[in-house]
Amino acid sequence: MSQKKAAKPAAKKPAPALKTAKTKVAASSTKSHMTENRVFKPSAEFSKNARISSMAQYKRMYEESIKQPDKFFGREAKELQWTKPFSKVLDWKCPNAKWFTGGKLNVSENCLDRHLNGPRKTKAALIWEGEPGEKRVLTYQQLHREVCRFANVLKRHKVKKGDRVVIYLPMIPEAAIAMLACARIGAIHNVVFGGFSAESIKDRVVDSGATLVITADGGYRRGSVVPLKKNVDDALKGNDTTVKTVIVYRRTCQDVHIEEGRDVWWHRELEYVDAHCPAVAMDSEAALFILYTSGSTGKPKGILHTTGGYLLHAQMTCKYVFDMNDQDVYWCTADVGWVTGHSYMVYGPLALGATSLMYEGAPNWPENDRFWRIIEEYAVTIFYTAPTAIRAFMKWGDEWLKKHDLSSLRLLGTVGEPINPEAWMWYHNKVGGGKCPIVDTWWQTETGGHMITPIPGATPTKPGTATLPFFGVDTAIVDDLGKEVGTDEQGKLVIRKPWPSMLRGIWGDKKRYQDTYWSEFKGWYFAGDGARRDKDGNIWIIGRIDDVLNVAGHRLGTAEVESALVSHPSVAEAAVVGRPDEMKGQGIVCFVTVKEGIQTSRDLSDELKKHVRKVIGPVATPDEVRFAAALPKTRSGKIMRRLLKQIAAGEIIKGDTTTLEDINVIAQLVSSGED
């Protein structure tokens, strides 16, 4: 291991006293927001230095953003560098939004070139640490150079404006370089998470019609090598896709197959190009990237994001939500394969000229304190991670934190799922030393950036709520008829106005875009989440109300897992539900009926778990496979998921079962979990 073992003894100053408006009244195990009365106001010191320093200022800005969006966003957008100024802020005809029409700009120019004229030129843009311990720092000048060179490699391979490029890389600087290089020449990137399987890559390659794939020989994860190139080879087997070229970065140096006439090495390609590559001026509404995400039905959908509005929102949220400054060392622990990695590791921070840290591997490699070690070593000031990670750290114990000096931290963030108050308190006290505001940011792949979030120098926070809408975000919580529900009542979370970074469509499927997001309530975006608003106006996200799972912050469709299961020769029918999981938020439970003549066994259940893992990827590995003689269905043949969820959670069956076709099915299912 190249990591040094010894850790400094905790040389921490005592944390300043908590600024709590109210004393602790709720038991720490309280899950319900109705009894959550702990309020944490930002410290006077934090507020004083923040861009937004009071609720009055937030409210003023919010009001302007809703009532005069043209004025508000027109002003904010001037902070981007436009090759040609826009003539109109918003053109909205539901469900089609056009932001900053007439304007032209280039995302890579905004993230790189415009920082080269002053002191940021030699400032760290990316700080990287590999899992085995290597370190790299790329200044803005160096990153610019690498992006230009790689963009020229893409051009050499005939990649043009509008072409789709699949990126399947580990968490290495080349992932950001590849994304920015695509943006520079107007190619549309489609990043596929390194934890997805060959079949998932193939689906995404085919659906997006990609002509080029960028990958690496392998990547490091928890001490072993993930065979990325092998997965790409398997995905492209049969030569029946549109892919002409595969560019391979050498990361792990193991032997890989090189397909003559298709595969080329990244480092060799660089020998043929120079570092001069002008950025292409793109229409504000030109596509920037596609990112696949799970829905409640069918295969993952390619969420389309465009240029001007997306970049503005990413930059603006880094400015106001993360309060990022030139002095900050900012670390987002998300993978680039998720939207969080796009907006908050690459585009937002770089647009703002900040320093973004990237770590390749697992949080518990070589030991449970890897993250704290990194925070100490690089004096990280802003840390953004997921509740599932926080719960894992809590379980591993405080001694891992105590070995490290975390006093550089000034702001903490979470994303991906609701955070339980216990985890919030632990994060606040143990990681933040009681002094750092926490921004619990609610948003989605579709929204492009933060939607509901505290403003750290202004918003009083409570453990478990994402609090208030960001600028321009017009939220409402409504019943099935679209009527706003009362205080503390649960309803569906909708957004009633377009916002700059909203998705512009689903790749290749206009109808699905309209149906999925804009049909439940006419003219409003329906996010798929349930929520409540408390008496102080704070929004508490309950979670997905559709058939989308959130496993350790990873979004998966029950339909995807079901279709993976029925692709196995022994399976007749499958129904997949989530069950509450203390660590992961949700675990995956599969109810399976087998084909005539097939014997069920523990071996078969293990085989099915492996099968799903192979088809979708390790993130989708089921926690439990339960065999059943039949699945509970209504008389019209719909699987009753509500019942299955209760069975999976071990709850006594509640609610109406009168529509159930065969009541005996339930008794069998309940007992099937007992052996």
Binding flag, residue 42, ligand 7RM (CB under 6 A): no
Residue closer to ligand 7RM, measured from CB, 115 or 450: 450
Question: What is the number of alpha carbons within 13 Å of residue 223 lying toward its C-beta?
Answer: 7
Q: Which residue among 57, 141, 364, 444 contacts ligand 7RM (CB under 6 A)?
A: 444
State which residue, 197 or 586, has the beta carbon closest to ligand 7RM.
586
From the list 115, 229, 342, 555, which residue makes contact with ligand 7RM (rule: CB under 6 A)?
Answer: 555
466 binds ligand 7RM (CB under 6 A): yes
Is residue 633 within the footprint of ligand 7RM (CB under 6 A)? no
Residue 365 or 443 having the CB closest to ligand 7RM:
443
Pick the binder of ligand 7RM from 138, 415, 551, 571 (CB under 6 A): 415
Q: Which DSSP symbol is given to 551?
A: E
Which secondary-structure segment (H or E) carries 99? strand 96-101
Select 115 or 555, whichever has its Cβ closest to ligand 7RM.
555
Pick out residues in 335-374 that bind ligand 7RM (CB under 6 A). 338-340
3 state SS of 88: strand
In the bound state with ligand 7RM, the residue whose beta carbon lies nearer, of 259 and 520, is: 520
Residues 475-534 that bind ligand 7RM (CB under 6 A): 527-529
* 296 binding ligand 7RM? (CB under 6 A): no
- Minimum distance from residue 469 beta carbon to ligand 7RM (Å): 13
- Judged by beta carbon, residue 288 or residue 608, the one nearer ligand 7RM is 288
Residue 140 or 338: which CB sits closer to ligand 7RM? 338
Distances (CA, A) of 64 to 58, 74, 178, 523, 602: 10, 12, 38, 22, 61
C-beta of 547: minimal distance to ligand 7RM in Å?
12
| Closest by Cα among 333, 312, 361, 368 to 132 | 361
Our finding on whether 293 is near ligand 7RM (CB under 6 A) is yes
- Which residue, 477 or 592, has its beta carbon nearer to ligand 7RM? 477
How far apart are alpha carbons 401 and 426 in whole angstroms?
A: 11
DSSP letters spanning 8-60: ----PPPPPPP-BSS---S-TT---GGG----BPPPHHHHHHSSS-SHHHHHH
578 touching ligand 7RM, by CB under 6 A: no
What is the token pair recorded at 332?
């987002």
- Residues near 675 by beta carbon (within 8 Å), at least 6 away in sequence: none
- Choose the stretch contacting ligand 7RM; rule: CB under 6 A; options: 125-133, 234-242, 397-405, 439-447: 439-447
Within 397-456, where are the H helices? 399-402, 421-426
Amino acid at 610: K
Q: Does 113 bind ligand 7RM (CB under 6 A)?
A: no
Rounded-to-integer distance, Cα 526 and Cα 518, Å: 6
Q: Which is nearer to ligand 7RM, 186 or 460 (CB)?
A: 460
Q: What are phi and psi of 309, to 5 degrees?
A: -65, -45
Alpha helices in 403-508 (DSSP H): 421-426
Among residues 186, 176, 125, 128, which one has the least CA distance to residue 154?
186
Q: Annotate 574-637 with DSSP letters as a single string.
A: EEEEEEEETTTEEEEEEEEEE-TTPPP-HHHHHHHHHHHHHHT-GGG--SEEEE-SS--BBTTS
Q: Which of 195, 418, 437, 469 binds ligand 7RM (CB under 6 A)?
A: 418
Residue with Cβ nearer ligand 7RM (466 or 577):
466
CB of 417 to ligand 7RM, least distance (A): 5
Shortest Å distance, C-beta 36 to ligand 7RM: 14
**Residues in contact with ligand 7RM by the rule CB under 6 A:** 293, 338-340, 415-418, 440-445, 466, 527-529, 541, 543-544, 550, 555
